[in-house]
Amino acid sequence: MSVKAEIARRRTFGIVSHPDAGKTTLTEKLLLFGGAIQEAGAVKSNKIKKGATSDFMEIERQRGISVATSVLAFEYKGTKINILDTPGHKDFAEDTFRTLTAVDSVIVVIDVAKGVEEQTEKLVEVCRMRNIPIIVFVNKLDREGKDAFELLDEIEQKLKLSVTPLSFPIGMGYDFKGIYNIWEKNINLFSGDSRKNIEETIEISDLQDTVLDELIGAKAANTLREELELVQGVYPDFDKEAYLAGKQQPVFFGSALNSFGVRELLDCFVAIAPTPRPKQSEERLVHPNEKDFSGFVFKIHANMDPKHRDRLAFIKIVSGVFERNTPYLHVRHNKKLKFSSPNAFFAERKQIVDISYPGDIVGLHDTGNFKIGDTLTSGEEIHYKGIPSFSPEHFRYINNADPMKTKQLNKGIDQLMDEGVAQLFTLELNGRKVIGTVGALQYEVIQYRLEHEYGAKCTYEPLNVYKACWVEPEDPKGEEFKEFLRVKQRFMAKDKRNQLVFLADSAFSLQMTQQKYPSVKMHFVSEFDVA
Ligand code: G4P
C-alpha cells in the first residue's frame, strides 16, 4: 500500500467524558467490534480504582497499565483506528489536555441522566479552541434520563456546540425501544440483551410506512414521527465540512453497556472522521503527506519498575514515515538519535515496528532526552507548538526533607516536571519552589516517586493561590508594568520555561489587579502566543 493510502486509512482520536459517563465501556465495545479483544472486561480491569487517594499500589498499577492502554489500535473495515486513552480520573486531567494535542478528532460521551458535567465542559472547551471535530455519544439510554431535546439543548448551551442528531432514541429507560438511525435511515430495535452483539436492524426509508407501527406500536411510531419532524425543523442537516471544521457536531444515542448504538457510531465515525490533519509549527504548516518525517512528544511515561529509570516517550507522527534504526534530529538538543525498538500499540500488547505512518503513535525508550512538546524530524528544524499548560488548581510549597539529597531532589523534580506530572513555579522573591497540580492526588504521587525513584524526600507546605496567570505586558519597558512588578513582587514567579507568572491569591485580587494594570494581560494558559 502506498504511503498516501496508509495515511488516508488512519483515524486517530480520543474519547473524552466526565468520569463514569461510560468512556471505558464504550472504548471496550469499539475494540470488540473491531475484533481487537475477545471479551468485555479487558479494558475495564485497567481502570484506576475510583476515589483512590493514598493507595500507592494503585497509583503504581495505574501508571504501569496506562502505558499499555495509552494507545489502542485496531483495524475496522479497512481503516486503522488509533484510540488515545485519556485518563478518566480528574487528578490526571492535565494528561488528558495534552493527549488532545495528538488527536485528529474526539468522541464525547455524555450520561443521559446526568447531562453535561464539569469535566466534559473543560475538555470540550479545549477541543473547541483547537477546532477539533467532535462527535457526541449520549450513553445509558437503557436508563431513565433527560428528554432528548432537553439534552440536545443543554449540550448546545453548556458546551457551546452546534449539534445535529444523527440518531434518535425511541423511548427511554424501561420504555426504551430502540434507535432511529437518521444517518443510515433504519431502525435498531433494543432487545435488552447485553450479550447480544448483533442488533436487529430494519431499513425504514419512509417514516410513514406502517411497518413502523407494527414494529414499535402506533403510539411510539407517531411520537417518533413527530419528534423526527421537530429534529428536521430545528437542527441543520449534517454537513461534513462543518463537522471537519469543528463547526457542527453530530450526536448519537445508545447504550455502551448493551453494545447498543455502538456499531452505528463506529460506522459513521470511519465514514466521516478526519484522516491525520496538518499541524502548525512555529515555522510553517506541516502536511501529513510530506516526504520528510516529523513528529512530537505529547506524553512521557515512567517505567513501572523503579530500578529501570528509562521512560517511554509517546510520539505522534505528523508527516513522512518513521523508520526503525534511522537517525532523526532531536530539534531541541540539535542531535541525531536512532531508535532500535520503537513500539506500536495494539489493543492488548505492544510490539516493535519497523515503519509507522502519520496518525500513528510510537513509543520510544528514553533515558531522559525527551520533554513534552519536543520535536523529532528527518533534519528540518521544526518546532511544534501547542502543548499548553493550564493554570493548576492546587498549589503547595515543596521543601527538601533531607538536605543530603538536594541534588537528587532537584533532578527528580526536574524529570517529573518534564513528564508533565505537575507544574513547577519558582518564586522571584526568594527562589522557593511551588508545585501546582490539577488534583491533590498528584502530590502523593510526586512524594512517592521522588522517594522511590530518586531517593529524595520532600514535604509540602500550604500556599494560598487561586490561579496562575501567565503575564504579557503590552509595554515591557513601560511604567505600568514596572509598577506592577514592584507592587506584586511577592506573587511573581517563573515557570519551567522561564515565563513570568502572577500567582493571584484570590479571584478578587486578580480582578483588582486586572483593573489597576489594564496593559498587563493575564492568560490562564501558558501558550497564549499560539492559536
Ligand atoms: P468511565 O470510563 O467514563 O469512568 O465510565 P465506565 O465505562 O467505567 O462506566 C461507568 C459505569 O457506568 C459502569 O458501572 C458501567 O458499567 C456503567 N455503564 C456504562 N455504559 C452504560 C450503559 O449504557 N447503561 C448503563 N445502565 N450503565 C452503563 P459501574 O457500576 O461503575 O461499574 P461496573 O461495576 O459495571 O464495572
Give the pLDDT score at 477: 94
Q: Which three cell numbers mark 99? A: 493527549
Q: Where exactly are the structural domains of the chain?
A: 3-175+237-272, 279-377, 388-527
Q: Which fold has domain 279-377?
A: Elongation Factor Tu (Ef-tu); domain 3 (2.40.30)
What is the number of the ligand 1 atom nearest to the C-alpha of 19?
Answer: 4
Task: State the Cα–Cα distance between residues 89 and 153, nearest whole angstrom.
Answer: 27
Q: Measuring from atom 30 of ligand 1, which residue has the nearest CA?
A: 20
Q: In which band, very low, low, confident or very high, does the pLDDT at 330 lie, cut at 50, 70 and 90?
A: very high
Quote the distance between the C-alpha of residue 51 and its chain's center: 21
CA 178 – ligand 1 centroid, Å: 19
Q: Comparing C-alpha atoms, which of 198, 204, 202 is closest to residue 263?
A: 198
Using left for φ > 0, alpha for ψ between -120 and 50, and beta otherwise, residue 319 falls in: beta
The SS3 of residue 94 is: helix
Give the pLDDT score at 375: 95
CB 375 within 8 A of CB 296: yes
Q: Measuring from atom 17 of ligand 1, which residue has the nearest CA?
A: 22
Task: State the Cα–Cα distance between residues 489 and 472, nearest whole angstrom.
Answer: 16
For the chain, the average pLDDT equals 87
Q: Which three cell numbers mark 243? A: 463537522
Q: Which three cell numbers mark 163? A: 449539534
What is the number of the ligand 1 atom nearest to the C-alpha of 28?
Answer: 7
State the average pLDDT over residues 234-256.
96
- pLDDT for 359-407, tens place per residue? 999 999 888 889 888 999 999 999 987 667 778 889 999 999 999 999 9
Q: Which residues contact 131 (CB under 8 A, 6 or more apart)?
A: 245, 246, 247
Best of 62, 257, 259, 262 to mutate for ligand 1, by most ligand atoms within 8 A of CB?
Answer: 257
Based on DSSP, count helices (H) and strands (E) in the chain, helices before strands.
14, 31
- pLDDT for 102-130, tens place per residue? 999 999 999 999 999 988 998 898 899 88
Give the pLDDT score at 453: 85
DSSP code at position 90? G
What is the number of the ligand 1 atom nearest to the C-alpha of 27?
Answer: 7
**Edge-to-edge strands of the sheet including 134-139?**
71-76, 79-84, 10-17, 105-111, 134-139, 249-253, 163-165
> Between residues 437 and 46, which one has the greater pLDDT?
437
Q: Do the domains 3-175+237-272 and 388-527 sit in the same CATH topology, yes or no?
A: no
Q: Which residues contact 283 (CB under 8 A, 6 or more apart)?
A: 381, 382, 383
User: Is the pLDDT score of 262 beyond 80?
Assistant: yes
Q: Measuring from atom 4 of ligand 1, which residue has the nearest CA?
A: 20
Class for the domain spanning 388-527: alpha beta
Give the pLDDT score at 37: 66
Best of 20, 30, 62, 252 to mutate for ligand 1, by most ligand atoms within 8 A of CB?
Answer: 20
Q: Which fold has domain 3-175+237-272?
A: Rossmann fold (3.40.50)
Q: In which band, very low, low, confident or very high, does the pLDDT at 50 lie, cut at 50, 70 and 90?
A: very low
Beta strands in 118-268 (DSSP E): 134-139, 163-165, 167-170, 178-181, 186-189, 200-203, 249-253
Give the pLDDT score at 401: 95
Best of 15, 25, 191 to mutate for ligand 1, by most ligand atoms within 8 A of CB?
Answer: 25
CB 424 within 8 A of CB 434: yes
Give the pLDDT score at 48: 41
CB 23 within 8 A of CB 116: no
CB 490 within 8 A of CB 454: no
Q: Comparing C-alpha atoms, which of 129, 130, 123 is closest to residue 92?
A: 123
The SS3 of residue 125 is: helix
Q: Which of 141-145, 153-157, 349-353 is modeled with the greatest confidence? A: 153-157
Q: Measuring from atom 36 of ligand 1, which residue has the nearest CA?
A: 44
CB 48 within 8 A of CB 63: no
The strand pair at 79-84 and 343-346 is best described as unpaired
Give the pLDDT score at 49: 39
Task: State the Cα–Cα distance between residues 521 and 514, nearest whole angstrom.
Answer: 8
Task: State the Cα–Cα distance between residues 284 and 421, nearest whole angstrom.
Answer: 30
User: Is the pLDDT score of 249 beyond 70?
Assistant: yes
Q: Which residues contact 486 (CB under 8 A, 6 or more apart)?
A: none
CA 340 – ligand 1 centroid, Å: 40
Q: In which band, very low, low, confident or very high, does the pLDDT at 251 lie, cut at 50, 70 and 90?
A: very high
Q: Measuring from atom 11 of ligand 1, which residue has the nearest CA?
A: 20
CA 117 – ligand 1 centroid, Å: 16
Task: State the Cα–Cα distance between residues 374 and 336, nearest whole angstrom.
Answer: 13
Share above pLDDT 90 across residues of the chain, in percent, rounded to a whole number: 58
* Phi, psi of 403, rounded to the nearest 5 degrees: -60, -20
Pocket lined around ligand 1, Cβ cut-off 6 Å: 17, 19-25, 44, 88, 139-140, 142-143, 255-258
Least confident of 65-69, 73-77, 379-383, 408-412: 65-69
Task: State the Cα–Cα distance between residues 254 and 283, nearest whole angstrom.
Answer: 44
What is the three-state SS of 244-262?
HCCCCEEEEECECCCCECH
**pTM for this entry:** 0.84
User: Is the pLDDT score of 304 beyond 60?
Assistant: no
Q: Measuring from atom 14 of ligand 1, which residue has the nearest CA?
A: 20
Q: Which three cell numbers mark 94? A: 492535565
State the average pLDDT over residues 288-306.
85
Task: State the Cα–Cα distance between residues 485 and 315, nearest whole angstrom.
Answer: 39
CA 446 – ligand 1 centroid, Å: 30
- Number of Cα atoms under 13 Å in the Cβ half of residue 517: 24
User: Is the pLDDT score of 352 beyond 50?
Assistant: yes
For 238, 308, 416, 503, 523, the CA distances from 304, given in Å and listed in that order, are 45, 8, 14, 34, 36
Q: Is the dihedral of CA 253, 256, 258, 260 positive or negative?
A: positive
> Between residues 510 and 88, which one has the greater pLDDT?
510
Q: Which three cell numbers mark 273? A: 472522521
Q: Measuring from atom 31 of ligand 1, which residue has the nearest CA?
A: 20
